[in-house]
Amino acid sequence: MSIDQAKAILNDTFGYEAFRPLQQEVISNVLKGRDTLVIMPTGGGKSLCYQIPACIFDGLTIVISPLISLMKDQVEQLDEYGVPAVFLNSSLTDEEYRYNVSRLRTGEVDLLYLAPETLMMESTRSLLGDLKVDCFTIDEAHCISEWGHDFRPDYRQLAEVRKDFPDAVCLALTATATPRVRDDIRQILQMKDSAVFVASFNRKNLLLRVVDKDNPLDQILDFLYTRQNQSGIIYCFSRRQVDELYLDLKAEGHLVRPYHAGLSEKERTRNQDAFIRDDIRIIVATVAFGMGINKPDVRFVIHHDMPQNIESYYQQIGRAGRDGLKADCLLLYSYSDKQKIQYFINQKEGNEKKVAEQHLASLIHFLEYDKCRRIPLLNYFGEEYNQEECGMCDNCLRQKGDLQDYTEQAQKYLSCVVRTGERFGAHHIADVLRGSKAKKVLEQNHDELSTYGIGKDWSKNQWIQLSRLLIRRGYLEKDTSHGSLKMTPEAKAVLDGNERVQGVLDRTQTGKEGIERPK
Ligand code: ADP
Ligand code: ZN
């Protein structure tokens, strides 16, 4: 069993010229019978890491995968390459099931795809007991860890089942593993002599941008205006939001379909296929969309709402630009989204709550980061990013001159928040600063405050944008129920003149520069 053999299979069976980074190392390790953990971003080429050894081993390679649709695709694809593979799961008819079992018994099959719950069944385990198993592969291995974003209790039992095949080499693969998850996988699977291969998670061709959510529909329409013939995915937090945005975009003449778990399976498949075949351009979806989608020319991914955590964000943007060409990733960020997520976290308990809180904190850190976004993103995955500027994120592309000093205005604003008793929202504070005669201002006698009218030189909109900057920087906190603004302890340093506030006020632009969407 040599790597030359593997290379020959890569060329002749799969028709590829050369190995992608780490494929050769992983395959060689597996062929030596050493347990291996592979961490590679989506699209990195994980499948070949077990498919090629499977072609070389005498015995069977078992592949545990949580996604039935993915299994089916893979088996069909392998079929086309002439690699004998079958799957066993609940979607098969009795007849299909029996047929697959009979093929397995003859020993002609190289790869067997199984859902974890199928593997756990007595009948499967006794069948496998009769077969020679050379490799036990666990795809989406992060599902085994509570620290992953997709924990599945079923996966925990794999460690047990694995003992049924003491002579088989164990290969675990995942696209998302923080160092913590990585250690978990190794420990739970009791990988002996384990080797971990970590591919770089840096997707250089993705342009990363985070902008303030202002008027999301308008912002998205601006964005789409200059990308008319491009395929893209727009992720929303809820089904309701998906339906709403889908109708809005459709009304504007976009070729768009929705996708979420509330639609029938038939409808979901139809919409997904239409997207892959380019019958439509845009899919508006919840997180339910995307697993196992192999569309190389997705040119943009928009997050209408904040993603749940960095891992899901990374997975979702990872669906763009698989062809290696430039793709746009735009995230619309608002403080109330953060609070929405916080609300869900508060319903949780114990360890689960702790995990969710850390995930949120890391995500916020990324969203509020004001240097190269690849630094916090890649650090999250345990990868050092040494370059100062990637040239492919909003912060790196921002002209130095865009960054302005707003310390003086911030002091005025914060004082006004204090003087009005931290009970009012951004609009009211702006009104007071601008010396407005609005009824609410007069009723509260806020025209008698020392901060009344000290900010006439700025428009209301500018003050509101400043309030967003102050929230972003953690100087102000906004109450979700009535929108009132409160100072945080950090704000004192600004008021005392010990800390300067620099930033960019208008972070709402999403369109390409210079091209206006006619409204
Ligand atoms: P992952 O499972 O890591 O998301 P896949 O195994 O699905 O990635 O591979 C992604 C794409 O890259 C597939 O279309 C696959 O055929 C292709 N691919 C994988 N390895 C190579 C290679 N060595 N050369 C060319 N294409 C490859
Ligand atoms: Zn950058």
3-state SS of 295-318 is: CCCEEEEEECCCCCCHHHHHHHHC
- 336-340, long-range: CB < 8 A, 24+ apart: 336/478, 336/480, 337/213, 337/237, 337/305, 337/306, 338/306, 338/364, 339/478, 339/480, 340/237, 340/305, 340/306
- Here the tokens at position 416 are 């006004």
Main-chain phi, psi angles of 47, to 5 degrees: -55, -45
**Which residues, other chains included, contact 484 with Cβ-Cβ below 8 Å and sequence gap of 6+?**
422, 423, 424, 425, 478
Ligand nearest to the CA of 371: 2
Ligand nearest to the CA of 315: 1
Q: What is the pLDDT of residue 149?
A: 66
Question: Which residue, by CA, sits nearest to atom 12 of ligand 1?
Answer: 45
| pLDDT tens, position by position, 289-340 | 987 787 889 999 999 999 989 989 998 999 999 888 999 999 999 988 888 8
Ligand 1 atom at shortest distance from the alpha carbon of 46: 3
* Any atom of ligand 1 within 6 Å of the Cβ of 436: no
- Rounded Cα distance, 435 and 411, in Å: 17
Q: What is the dihedral of CA 349, 354, 360, 363, to 10 degrees?
A: -150
Find the 306 Cα to ligand 2 centroid distance in Å. Answer: 20
Q: What is the pLDDT of residue 24?
A: 95
Segments in the chain below pLDDT 70:
148-149, 177, 192-194, 400-401, 513-514
* Any atom of ligand 1 within 6 Å of the Cβ of 318: no
Find the 196 Cα to ligand 2 centroid distance in Å. Answer: 28
Residue in 235, 335, 234 with CA at minimum distance from that of residue 282: 234
* Any atom of ligand 1 within 6 Å of the Cβ of 42: yes
Please calculate the CA angle 35-70-156 and round it to the nearest 5 degrees: 45
* Any atom of ligand 1 within 6 Å of the Cβ of 7: no
- Rounded Cα distance, 503 and 19, in Å: 44
- Rounded Cα distance, 134 and 109, in Å: 12
Q: Which helix (H) or strand (E) holds 339?
A: helix 335-346
Ligand nearest to the CA of 11: 1
Q: What is the pLDDT of residue 513?
A: 67
- Rounded Cα distance, 166 and 220, in Å: 54
* Any atom of ligand 1 within 6 Å of the Cβ of 46: yes
Mutate to test the pocket of ligand 1, among 9, 12, 20, 113 (most ligand atoms within 8 A of CB): 20
Find the 410 Cα to ligand 2 centroid distance in Å. Answer: 27
Find the 26 Cα to ligand 1 centroid distance in Å. Answer: 14
Ligand nearest to the CA of 23: 1
| pLDDT tens, position by position, 447-456 | 999 999 999 9
Secondary structure letter of residue 273 according to DSSP = H
Ligand 1 atom at shortest distance from the alpha carbon of 14: 16
- SS (HEC) of 17-53: CCCCCCHHHHHHHHHCCCCEEEECCCCCCHHHHHHHH
| pLDDT tens, position by position, 445-479 | 999 999 999 999 999 999 999 998 898 888 999 88
Main-chain phi, psi angles of 105, to 5 degrees: -65, -30
Question: Which residue, by CA, sits nearest to atom 20 of ligand 1?
Answer: 45
ipTM above 0.95, yes or no: yes
* Any atom of ligand 1 within 6 Å of the Cβ of 16: yes
Question: Which residue, by CA, sits nearest to atom 17 of ligand 1?
Answer: 45
* Any atom of ligand 1 within 6 Å of the Cβ of 465: no
Length of the chain: 519
Q: What is the pLDDT of residue 231?
A: 97
Ligand 1 atom at shortest distance from the alpha carbon of 19: 23
Q: What is the pTM of this model?
A: 0.78
**Which residues, other chains included, contact 265 with Cβ-Cβ below 8 Å and sequence gap of 6+?**
none
Q: What is the pLDDT of residue 443?
A: 95
Q: Is 192 exposed, middle or buried (0-12, 13-18, 19+ CB in 10 A)?
A: exposed
At 291, is the secondary structure helix, strand, or coil? coil
Ligand nearest to the CA of 49: 1
- DSSP per-residue codes, 130-188: TS-EEEEEESSGGGG-TTSSS--HHHHTHHHHHTT-TTSEEEEEES---HHHHHHHHHH
| pLDDT tens, position by position, 173-187 | 998 768 888 888 888
Tokens 């020319």 label which residue?
297
* Any atom of ligand 1 within 6 Å of the Cβ of 44: yes
Tokens 């920087």 label which residue?
473
- Rounded Cα distance, 119 and 114, in Å: 6
